[in-house]
């Protein structure tokens, strides 16, 4: 396995769209149902748009009905950080990428009970999708194992 150093890359930050910058760097939220990944079912992984660190896999994605991509668990818990968020008069748990420090979304405890009960409600603007067929080419080949036995592979 090739070791990667994931970090907040200033060059990557400078290439972000206005929406991506607002979400990842200013703790913003994109509109529900008007983002590219909320209803995507394509097999692959989702990585931090800034650092490239692997965050979520399509095998853990489900339709939460909220209009944002939702996952039951991260690929590697070490790549996400949970922070108490009391903004907007609510008590929530913010989710950030561990190495890129990108705001990703929030964590709720109303996910599918049979899959752990958690809902990682993420912003598409914070994510870059790497299709299953491109995992090796893009340096994420070790994550192909997540799809073994999956009909989509």
**What are 19-67's pLDDT values in tens digits?**
999 999 999 999 999 999 999 999 999 999 999 999 999 999 999 999 9
Cβ atoms of residues 122 and 56 within 8 Å:
yes
DSSP string, 54-103: EEEEGGGEE--SSSS-EESS-S-GGGEEEEEE-GGG--EEEEEETTT--E
Q: Which of 59, 121, 125, 135 is catalytic?
A: 121
- The domain spans of the chain are 10-133
- Tokens 């108490």 sit on residue: 84
Reported as a single tens digit per residue, the pLDDT across 115-140 is: 999 999 999 999 999 999 999 999 99
The pLDDT of residue 149: 75
Q: Which residues, including other chains, have CB under 8 Å from residue 10's CB and lie 6 or more apart?
A: none
Cα gap 74→57, rounded to integer Å: 7
Fold of 10-133: 2.170.150
Whether the predicted pLDDT of 85 surpasses 90: no
Question: Could you tell me the strand order of the sheet in which 70-71 lies?
Answer: 61-62, 70-71, 119-122, 103-108, 92-97, 80-85
Tell me whether residue 17 is one of the annotated catalytic residues. Answer: no
Question: What Cα–Cα distance (Å) separates residue 96 from each residue in 41, 48, 67, 83, 84?
Answer: 23, 9, 19, 8, 11
């Amino acid at each position: 396995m090739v070791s990667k150093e994931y970090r907040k890359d200033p060059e990557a930050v400078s290439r972000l769209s206005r929406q991506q910058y607002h979400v990842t760097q200013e703790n913003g939220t994109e509109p529900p149902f008007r983002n590219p990944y909320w209803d995507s079912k394509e097999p692959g992984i989702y990585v931090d748009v800034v650092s490239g660190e692997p965050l979520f896999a399509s095998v853990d994605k489900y339709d939460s009905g909220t209009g944002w991509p939702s996952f039951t668990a991260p690929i590697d818990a070490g790549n996400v950080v949970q922070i108490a968020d009391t903004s907007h008069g609510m008590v929530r748990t913010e989710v950030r990428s561990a190495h890129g420090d990108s705001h990703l979304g929030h964590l709720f405890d109303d996910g599918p009970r049979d899959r752990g009960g958690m809902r990682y409600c993420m912003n598409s603007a914070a994510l870059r999708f790497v299709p299953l067929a491109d995992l090796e080419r893009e340096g994420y080949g070790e994550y192909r194992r997540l799809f073994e036995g999956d009909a989509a592979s």
